[in-house]
Amino acid sequence: MPPAPAAEMPLAPAVPELSELAGDAQARRSRHRRREARILAVWRLAVLAMALLAWSLVSLATSPLILPGPGAVLVHLVRHAPLILKNLWVTLAEILLGFLAGSAVGIATGTAIAHSRRLEAIFRPYVTTSQAVPKAALAPIFVLWLGFGIGPKVTIAALISFFPLLENTIVGLRRVDPDALRLFASLGASPRQVFTKLRLPNGLPYIMAGLRVGVVFATVGAIVGEFVTANQGLGALIVIAQGNFDTKLMFAVIAVLTAMGVLLYDLVRVLERALLRRYNLGEGEIELHRMDP
Amino acid sequence: MIEVDSIHKVFGDGSETYALRDVSFSVAEGEFVSLIGPSGCGKTTILNCVGGIEPVAHGRVSIDGRPVRGPRSGDVGFVFQRAVLLAWRNVMDNVLLPIEVFGRPTAPYRARAQELLELVGLSGFAGHLPGQLSGGMQQRAAIVRALIFEPRVLLMDEPFGALDAQTREYMNIVLLRVWEAMRKTIVFVTHDLEEAVFLSDRVVVLTPRPGTVREIVPVMLPRPRTIAMRYSEEFAALARRLRDRLEFDVPTGAAR
């Protein structure tokens, strides 16, 4: 029997389809990315473990009064959870009230100042100078004025978070493309239209970045306020723990404060991302001459 | 019809230096006129005066016999060197911006916007954000934005100056197609002589600062214009004539 003619042989695709190749490449890339992410996560945990280990070793060599170990702090944290929680609500309330008041006033004032070139020129040096005032140093004065309740803490938190919002609102509303202004002028747009259709969407990313910084600043403000008038709240708890030589409690409270700060920051960040994505806006920069509260 | 009648413009810094001196020219209904001149001679200022976004010190600018005293909504469409699309609005919403500013409902203009986007080759891009478009595409969207409200006059301030040569040539063809379809009166500022010759019915040549009209050169090339005409002798002769009329400030000091 003669072999089947070559022409009838099925033409096996020696070369794969281009789309398959592209799909392969994509799959390989994402596989690679996943592997890379796993490696980084492992390393990150390793760094944490090493830091905790170092902490433990040093704490073994020193008095628990100076440096308690991480395990002891954790046990203490759980044991005193009700006490910490009770004070946490106070501090959280101060932070949120201060943050809301400070950012509302900051955005409103910034909007007013950004509204006219003349107002901005008049206020600019004072805005810049007032940022250099160490706000924490004002805490005793507010206690003098507002007593020992929640008032002075909220005020400090509000004052400190006011500035990033003020600055970022002014910059965001002002920093618009001059050609865009020319376009709006050529259309005979009213100042109100320029504000709502150009300046506000242009400024929103900056304002959101200001909020992100503001909430962290508010946390610092509330704690500083509590340091001055030890009464209740996590800041007060630290001062009391210090008086009782309860170093473990101090560490536990600091850990809780840190967790709270991260959570608040992330909360604003999530809100920011959602809002900016909703309005197709890019990320805003943080516009601050001085980053410290 | 646009009439620019002996306008003067002094720099705002009190130095009493003329930015424009005694500039006069007119543009007929449906005519395409280009302004060329060395940079800083006040081409943009002239456009701003015609568009009513800068006041004139002396003289008069009128559109269809009515003096221009400020931006008249709906009379003039501007196209700038950069597209100036609002980054947070998609192409359709950018195109409809003037309608919104005029306080009219936008719904009746959507179909027209779609037609115009098709005319400039952007039919599938109404929902895209400006950041997703190339420079040339953004500028085409800006042209549609200027045309959506059917202005009597289109003022174009070096609209293709920021684009590469190939894209610019393509944009010239697109613009002529739009102009032939709609017959708008166009005043077009450029620093590109060939572009001016290729597009215009007449070219106004301005002197260096203070800007005055040196000469108005009619371009007698037949319409519709084609790319091939760019290589004709007639075209070259016109471009040469314009180049001769443009005065360059060449430093005369000898190098040491």
Which tens digit of pLDDT belongs to each residue from A163-186? 899 989 998 999 898 889 999 999
Q: B92-106, pLDDT tens digit by residue?
A: 999 999 999 999 999
Q: Model confidence at B28, in pLDDT bands (50, 70, 90)?
A: very high
Cβ of B72 within 8 Å of Cβ of A188? The answer is yes
Per-residue pLDDT, B250 = 53
CB atoms within 10 A of CB A41: 10
With contact defined as beta carbons under 8 Å apart, do B239 and B195 qualify? Answer: no
Which DSSP state fits A196? I
The bridge status of strand B185-189 relative to strand B32-36 is parallel
Q: Does A193 touch chain B (CB under 8 A)?
A: yes
Task: Describe the strand order of the beta sheet including B32-36 as a list of residue ranges.
Answer: B76-79, B153-157, B185-189, B32-36, B202-206, B213-218
- Closest partner residue to B84 (CB to CB) among A183, A201, A281 is A183
Per-residue pLDDT, A12 = 52
Per-residue pLDDT, A7 = 47
B58: helix, coil or strand? strand
What is the average pLDDT across B133-155? 93
Q: pLDDT exceeding 90 applies to what percent of chain B?
A: 56
Q: Crossing angle of helices A117-132/A151-174, nearest 10°? A: 140
With contact defined as beta carbons under 8 Å apart, do B57 and B8 qualify? Answer: yes
Q: Does B191 touch chain A (CB under 8 A)?
A: no
Q: Model confidence at B128, in pLDDT bands (50, 70, 90)?
A: very high
Q: Which residue has the higher pLDDT, A281 or B132?
A: B132
Cβ of B84 within 8 Å of Cβ of A281? The answer is no
Q: How far apart are CA B158 and CA B82, in angstroms?
A: 9
Nearest C-alpha in B relative to A201: B88
Q: pLDDT exceeding 90 applies to what percent of chain A?
A: 60
What is the average pLDDT across A71-96? 94
End-to-end CA gap in chain A: 94
Which residues face B7 on adjacent strands?
Answer: B23
Nearest C-alpha in B relative to A203: B88
CB atoms within 10 A of CB B38: 16
B59: helix, coil or strand? strand
Q: Could you tell me the two tokens for A53?
A: 């280990």
Fold of B1-75+155-160+185-251: Rossmann fold (3.40.50)
pLDDT at A291 over 50: no
Angle at B219 between CA B160 and CA B62, to 5 degrees: 70
Chain A residues with CB-CB distance to B51 below 8 A: 186
Q: Which residue has the higher pLDDT, B98 or A284?
A: B98
Per-residue pLDDT, A14 = 58
Q: B61-94, pLDDT tens digit by residue?
A: 999 888 888 887 688 999 999 999 999 999 999 9
- Helix boundaries (H) for B39-164: 43-51, 91-95, 97-101, 110-119, 135-147
With contact defined as beta carbons under 8 Å apart, do A219 and A158 qualify? Answer: no
Q: B240-249, pLDDT tens digit by residue?
A: 999 888 865 5
Chain A residues with CB-CB distance to B102 below 8 A: 187-188
Cβ of A188 within 8 Å of Cβ of B98? The answer is no
Average pLDDT, chain B: 89
ipTM, two decimals, is 0.88
Distance from CA of B177 to the nearest CA of A (A): 24
Q: In whole angstroms, what separates CA B26 from the centre of its chain?
A: 15
In single-letter form, the type of residue at position B246 comes to L
- Closest partner residue to B84 (CB to CB) among A177, A279, A280 is A177
pLDDT at A156 over 70: yes
What is the average pLDDT across B184-196? 93
Q: How far apart are CA A258 and CA A178, in angstroms?
A: 43
CB atoms within 10 A of CB A37: 10
Residue B204's closest CA among B242, B256, B161, B167? Answer: B242
Cβ of A179 within 8 Å of Cβ of B101? The answer is no
Residue B157's closest CA among A147, A183, A125? Answer: A183
Q: Model confidence at B15, in pLDDT bands (50, 70, 90)?
A: low
Q: A86-113, pLDDT tens digit by residue?
A: 999 999 999 999 999 999 999 999 999 9
Whether the CA torsion A155, A157, A162, A165 is positive or negative: it is negative
With contact defined as beta carbons under 8 Å apart, do A186 and A172 qualify? Answer: no
Distance from CA of A280 to the nearest CA of B (A): 5
Q: Does B71 touch chain A (CB under 8 A)?
A: yes
Cβ of B101 within 8 Å of Cβ of A282? The answer is no
Per-residue pLDDT, A70 = 93
Nearest C-alpha in B relative to A179: B84
With contact defined as beta carbons under 8 Å apart, do A96 and A219 qualify? Answer: no
Average pLDDT, chain A: 87
Which residues face B203 on adjacent strands?
Answer: B34, B217
Which DSSP state fits B226? -
Q: Could you tell me the two tokens for B14?
A: 């009190």
**Hey, of B73, B97, B104, B144, which one would you mutate to test binding to chain A, going by the most A CBs within 10 A of its CB?**
B97
Distances (CA, A) of A88 to A77, A157, A256, B15, B84: 13, 15, 9, 65, 49
Q: Does B128 touch chain A (CB under 8 A)?
A: no
Per-residue pLDDT, A292 = 52
Q: Model confidence at B6, in pLDDT bands (50, 70, 90)?
A: confident
Which residues face B2 on adjacent strands?
Answer: B27, B63
Contacting residues for B21 by C-beta, under 8 A, at least 6 apart: B8, B210, B211, B212
Buried b (16+ CB within 10 A) or exposed e, B146-170: bbbbebbbbbbbbbbebbeeebbbb
